[in-house]
Chain A
Amino acid sequence: MANKVALSSLVTMTTKHLSSGSSCPPLEDGVMRVYSMKYCPYAQRTHLVLAAKNIKHEVVYVNLKNKPEWLFEKNSLGKVPVLQINEHCLFESLITCDYLDEVYPEPPLYPAQPLKKAQDRMFIELWSQISAALLKLYFSKKDEQIMKKSCDDIKSGLDVFETELTKRGTKFFGGDTPGMLDYMIWPWAERLPMVEMIARNNGVLTQDRFPKMLPWMVDMMEDNAVKTVYLPPEAHLKFLTTLDPDNSRLRSFL
C-alpha cells in the first residue's frame, strides 16, 4: 500500500531524508523551516501545530541513522524536530510548539486561565508513560515479554487520560476543537492501532476500558491538522520493520 504524506499547501519545499555528507539546502530570509523525520512522533507534534496555525513552511527531512553533520550546528543534541527562521534555531518539540502558539496566536491552543493551562501541560508530561512504552517497543527485541509489559504500561497510562476526558465532558481535551494537549499526545495515539496489529492477545484499545478515548481518536482523525500529518498503521508498521529487519514475525503482519 503506497503511503504518502499529503503535501499540504502550507509546505513550500520538502526533501528526501538527508544524510551524512549532504549539504543543507540554503534557507531564504524570513522563511520558516522544520528539520524532521517522517516517522518521528516528536517532529510530528511540530507539524501538527504548523498545520493547526496555517503557517507556510519548508520541511527538510534528515536521516537519523546517518545524520548530516550540519544538523549538529542547528541542534547540538543532533535531534529533530528543529525549527529554524533566519539564524534562529529552536529544538525540543514542546518548546517549538509553545513558540509557534505564542507567535501565531490564532487559534489559541492553550486555555486562557493559567491554572487550566498548567493542568494541560501537566497532562502532556503524564503522557510520557505511553511514549516511553512505545519507545521501548520500537527499539527493543519485540519478544512476548516486552510486548506485554509495553501494552500494560500503555493501558495504565491511557486510563489517566480516559478519566480526565470523561471529567472534562468535551469532545476533545481542548473543548469543541483540539488544543495543545490533544495535538501533543496525538502522534503516539496514532501509532496505537499499529501496536494492536502486532500485539496478538495483548489488545490495547478496548471499548470497555476506553469508551471516551476511542471516539476521541476517531474525532481527531477528522481534524484538518491531523489529516495533513496522518500516517496509517500499515505505514508505521512498515517503518518499524525497517528498524528491526531480521524480525520475521513483524514482517508477517505487513
Chain B
Amino acid sequence: MKYCPYAQRVRIIIAAKNVKHEIVNINLKSKPDWFFEKNPLGKVPALEKDGALMFESMVICDYLNEAYPEPPLYPADPWQKAHDRVFIELWSKVSSPMYKVYFAKGDQHVLAQCFDDIRDGLDMFEVELSKRGTCFFAGAKPGMLDYMIWPWVERLPMAQQMAGDDDALPEERYLKLLSWMTNMKEEPAVRATFMSPETHLKFLLSHISGSPEYDMEE
C-alpha cells in the first residue's frame, strides 16, 4: 500500500539494490480474496518470488540484502550488525508514539505525552549518531539501519503539523539527526520512494476519517 511505512522500507531496499520488480497495491480496507489465498494473514508488505511468499518488513529486507549482496547494508562484523539490529528495534520508541499522535483527535494532553516519548526516542538516535561520528549510521553511505528508520522520519514533519507545534522537535536538540535527514533526502534509494509531508498528511487525514484514499492524486 502506497502510504504504508513498512512497505516503504521494502521499496527503499529494492531501490538500493536495483532489483527489477512489480508492485501490486492492495486496498487494506477491502482486501481482495485472492490476496488471502496467497497470504493467509493478508498483510503488507509481502514479497512473492519463485512461488514463495514472505511477509514482515524486516524479514523481507534482510532476505533482499542476502539475495542481492551489493551493496552490503549491514556491517561485516557480527557484533556491529547485531548492534544495528538492536537500534532498528529501538526505533519503535519513536514510531509507536507517532501512531498515537495520528489518532489523538487533537487531545493536547495525549499529544504532549506522545511528543515527550518521541523526543526521548530521538535522543537515543542523536546520541548514537554522534557517537559513530559518521555521515550516516552505517558510515559514508546509508545502510540497513538508516533505511529502516527513514519512513517514519519522513513522516515526522506531518506529525508535528498534526500536533500544531512547530517547535516539537527543536533543532538544537537534534543537530546530527537534522543534517542526517538532509543527507538522506539526497540518496537515490530515498528519493525513489519519497513523499512530501503534505502528501502524507492528505492521506492520513483520509485514513483517520475512515475512508482512506489509496489512489488519491498527490
Contact = CB atoms under 8 A, between A and B. Distances in A.
A99 B81 CA distance: 8
Interface in B41-86: 41, 49-50, 52, 54-56, 59-60, 62-63, 66-67, 78-79, 81-83, 85-86
Interface in A64-78: 76-77
> Chain A's interface: helix, strand, loop or mixed, by majority?
helix
B56 A95 contact: no
B73 to A, nearest CB: 14
A152 interface: no
A125 B55 CA distance: 9
B112 interface: no
A99 B66 contact: no
Size bracket of the A interface: 20 to 34
Contact of A95 (B54, B86, B124): B86
B165 interface: no
A117 interface: yes
- Provide the main secondary structure of the chain B interface: helix
Given A118-B54, A119-B54, A122-B55, A76 B124 contact: yes
Nearest to B68: A114
Interface residues of B, number: 24
B62 A118 contact: yes
Contacts of A85: 79
A125 B49 CA distance: 19
22 contacts: A76-B90, A85-B79, A88-B79, A90-B86, A92-B85, A95-B85, A96-B82, A98-B82, A102-B81, A114-B66, A114-B67, A115-B50, A115-B63, A117-B63, A118-B54, A118-B60, A118-B63, A119-B54, A121-B62, A122-B59, A125-B59, A126-B41
Interface of A: 76-77, 85, 88, 90-92, 95-96, 98-99, 102-103, 114-115, 117-119, 121-122, 125-126, 160
Given A115-B52, A117-B66, 17 more contacts: A76-B90, A88-B79, A88-B83, A92-B85, A92-B86, A95-B82, A114-B66, A114-B67, A115-B49, A115-B67, A118-B62, A118-B63, A119-B54, A121-B59, A122-B55, A125-B59, A126-B41
